Structure 1
Amino acid sequence: MKGIIMIIDGMGDRPIKELGYKTPLEVALTPNMDKMAENGICGIMDPIRPGIRAGSDTSHISILGYNPYEVYTGRGPFEAAGVGVDVLPGDIAFRCNFSTVDDKGIITDRRAGRIRVGTQEIAQTVNGMELEEDVQVIFKESTGHRAVLVLRGKGLSDQVSDADPKHEGKNPKKVVALDDTEEAKKTADILNKVVEKSYELLKDHPINIKRIESGENAANIIIPRGAGAVPKVEPFGEKYGLNPVCIAETGLIKGIASIAGMQLIDIPGATGGIDTNLENIKNGIIETASKDYDFMLINVDGADEAGHDGEMEEKVKFLEKVDVVIGELMKIEEVYFILTADHSTPISIMDHTGDPVPIVITGPEVRVDDVTKFNERSTSKGGLCRIRGNNIMDILMDLMNRSTKFGA
């Protein structure tokens, strides 16, 4: 038997007045997800614990059976590993946005118009920037407006604040040390110089000149956040005795899988947005399921993007497109299939919340309950009741008859 966990990033939501106080998942036409609910056992899931606003990183860590309070040092290392940077012990890594600032240094677009093209050329200009300190600057683009920054050198610390103010209309925040160590003070100073110099390098970059001429926002500054040192993680395959593989769109999730020792499958056209190539993702999943892997982690990100952008109709449409993909995946045989989300990203909040998310498990020997619809409210009446993210792998291993008995 194989095990598959498919996570629709940010799928959960809250009731919306414009939808008759229903959620996007409740109004979307999702016959295949509903069929899964009808044929499986349902419930709701708190990625970390009730009321905790989980990030995509910490929730995935929890769902994979690790303790995020022990493993998670910050988002940066996972982002860096996910885009192919060979992070080393002692490296301090950051996730970054390509952003837009005006001539007064005010951020006018944190995501630079959700830039898709030209980021590699922009990243090459920033990569290896020379600073006075004996520190190597490694910079690489990820998907869309995302990128990673790694500082490599002696005497560095991850105890520094973010440069990201989280909202437009503000200057990048001055990075400060979060403790009194010289290492933290040195790292904060370096990071402020990186932000400042990135603008100098990018404001007249040819890619940005073309974007401005075509009415698009320039990616003229780098805004880092999520500092973290490289964590030590027990390989997933050794932890569970499985041969794991991951299909994901964003550098963050790829990085979590990479640090956990999973094989990564790249999908052409997987952007991490609502414009992602779901056909290629579907074909990649089906092809991978036929190979010698017995565990697959899948992450599809577009619903989260729509939630962050407050795009109600786009979220509904994207969930309906994903449902078509799920209809094909339901044809995979000899598998326990878990469908859930990593967190809620409500349209009304435009950010993650601590609301629980729906979950369903299908497979040959699950105790099917009476739920017939897959959404936040219907699944709450299912046989799984309310579980936490770190329960999922225990449940899956038991269903796959791979768990060990506790006690005599």
Structure 2
Amino acid sequence: MKYIIILGDGMSDEPLQELGNKTPMECADTPTMDMLSKVSEIGLAHTIPKGMGPGSDVANLSVLGYDPSVYYSGRSPLEALSIGVDLKDTDVALRCNLVTLSMDDGPYEEKEMIDHSSGEISTEEAAQLVEAVRTAFETEEYKFYVGTSYRHLLVWDKGQVVELAQPHDILGRRIKDYLPADKKLREMMEKSYDILMHHPINTERIKNGQNPANSLWFWGAGTRPQLTSFEEKTGKRGAMISAVDLLKGIAVGAGMMNIIVEGANGRLDTNYEGKAEAAVNALTKDGYDFVYVHVEAPDEMGHQGSLERKIKSIELLDKRLIKPILEGLQKSGEEFRMMILPDHPTPIRIRTHSSEPVPYLLYDSTRPEKHTWDYNEKDSAASGNVIEKGHMAINKLLEI
């Protein structure tokens, strides 16, 4: 038996008036998921433990079977693993976003958070901007590392796990109430605006009508994680397919193989077909028992508040990823169990994550069920199936 999780990050949502009180999942044209829902178990999974924030770090650890209340030590340390940074026990890692703040002439603290991703800036452009702030700020105490797109890393030697605001939680707000209490972190953020605002990369981006990456924003502080091996926990040899450093870092910590797919970029135009092919090959040719395929686009569209593009991202997930994976596994003759779910909701209305339970779909190629429901938030709730502890969902998939 082979096993696969297909995760549409932030895919679930709330009923919206402009959609006739339906959700994007209900309105999206998803013939493959519609077909699967008729022969699968559906239900709700609580991926965010009570008292913890609804971050992708917490939620994806949960979906992979790691109880966040036991294993979570911060987001940035997981991302550090993905880019090969070996943290000391005394290090504190911080996510270092390149964000877009308003370009008015007022003081830094009065600026507004316009875009947490700087228009999904390319890694190539971002690397030059990180180099500029590294030249200005790096010391033996503070080290900068390039990640992917707008997502980068600061390692603070003998640092503190300080409380920091997530930039995607404060979109459209003035930043003065969300700046770090730590003077050095705040100073680097403020001075970065002057360095980055006039950098040639941003001058060109503004000229082309793109959001400039004009400030650093630190968040997600944490210490070195200690994850049990996925194979040791489950008896399954696992692989991860994702464009996002966080997921790659979880895979490194869990001893899973990271499968790199050319053109996979965490955006709406990611290489869906490449991910599908890689997943099928991993399970049917390369000896893996389990594959986790992560797609970032629905979450990004939710943060952008783009209803049309969020619906589109769900449709692309269905047509260009789930369908070819399903067909490839069926053609191979392998028996398999497939789970489809989000990690958390990213509602269009609030443009950030929420803690509501997420809809899941569980298909077994050897034991197809017969139902009339569709795969969405409403029908999943009506099914009566509930996974109260999200980290147990994988046990349901693996039947352990």
TM class, shorter-length: 0.7 to 0.9
1:156 aligns with 2:163: no
The corresponding residue for 1:254 is 248
Deviations 1:21-43 (A, max 9, x none): 11111111111101211222221
Q: CA separation of 1:379/1:100 partners in 2, compared to 1, >3 Å: closer, same or farther?
A: closer
> 2-side partners of 1:123 and 1:225: how far apart?
16
1:119 aligns with 2:156: no
Residue type of the partner of 2:6?
Answer: M
Residue type of the partner of 1:234?
Answer: T
1:129 touches 1:137 (CA, 8 Å); kept in 2? no
Shift of 1:71: 1.6
Residue type of the partner of 2:5?
Answer: I
2:337 touches 2:362 (CA, 8 Å); kept in 1? yes
Shift of 1:126: 2.7
The corresponding residue for 2:67 is 67
**SS of the counterpart of 2:95?**
strand
1:371 touches 1:382 (CA, 8 Å); kept in 2? no
CA-based RMSD = 2.4
State which drifts further: 346-355 or 225-234. Answer: 346-355
The corresponding residue for 1:286 is 280
1:263 aligns with 2:269: no
The corresponding residue for 2:171 is 167
The corresponding residue for 1:184 is none
**SS of the counterpart of 2:190?**
helix
> 1-side partners of 2:51 and 2:381: how far apart?
16
Q: CA separation of 1:76/1:234 partners in 2, compared to 1, >3 Å: closer, same or farther?
A: same
The corresponding residue for 1:96 is 96
Alignment counterpart, residue 187 of structure 2, candidates 168, 193, 204: 193
1:139 aligns with 2:145: yes
The corresponding residue for 1:345 is 346
The corresponding residue for 2:236 is 242
The corresponding residue for 2:300 is 305
Shift of 1:236: 1.3
Listed as ranges, the matches of 1:17-96 within 5 Å are: 17-49=17-49, 54-96=54-96
Shift of 1:397: 2.8
> 1-side partners of 2:288 and 2:72: how far apart?
26
1:319 aligns with 2:314: yes
Shift of 1:263: 0.9
Residue type of the partner of 1:75?
Answer: R
State which drifts further: 366-375 or 14-23. Answer: 366-375
Shift of 1:118: 0.7
The corresponding residue for 2:358 is 357
State which drifts further: 236-245 or 46-55. Answer: 46-55
1:202 aligns with 2:196: yes
The corresponding residue for 2:324 is 328
Deviations 1:77-135 (A, max 9, x none): 1222223333332221111221234343224523323322511221222336445x641
Shift of 1:197: 3.9
Q: CA separation of 1:351/1:357 partners in 2, compared to 1, >3 Å: closer, same or farther?
A: same
1:8 touches 1:300 (CA, 8 Å); kept in 2? yes
Shift of 1:57: 0.9
Residue type of the partner of 1:166?
Answer: I
Q: CA separation of 1:370/1:108 partners in 2, compared to 1, >3 Å: closer, same or farther?
A: closer
Q: CA separation of 1:168/1:375 partners in 2, compared to 1, >3 Å: closer, same or farther?
A: closer
The corresponding residue for 2:380 is 379
> 1-side partners of 2:200 and 2:377: how far apart?
47
> 2-side partners of 1:361 and 1:334: how far apart?
14
Any unmatched runs of 5+ in structure 1?
177-187, 404-408
1:369 touches 1:382 (CA, 8 Å); kept in 2? no
Matched-pair identity in %: 33
Structure with the bigger percentage of helix: 2
Shift of 1:175: 1.7
Q: CA separation of 1:169/1:73 partners in 2, compared to 1, >3 Å: closer, same or farther?
A: same
Residue type of the partner of 1:54?
Answer: P
**SS of the counterpart of 1:39?**
coil
> 2-side partners of 1:258 and 1:74: how far apart?
15
Count residues in correspondence: 384
> 2-side partners of 1:108 and 1:4: how far apart?
37
Any unmatched runs of 5+ in structure 2?
none
Shift of 1:242: 1.6
Shift of 1:169: 4.9
If the length of structure 2 is used for normalisation, what is the TM-score? 0.88
Deviations 1:38-80 (A, max 9, x none): 2222211111357976211101111222221222122111222
> 2-side partners of 1:93 and 1:100: how far apart?
22
Shift of 1:271: 1.9
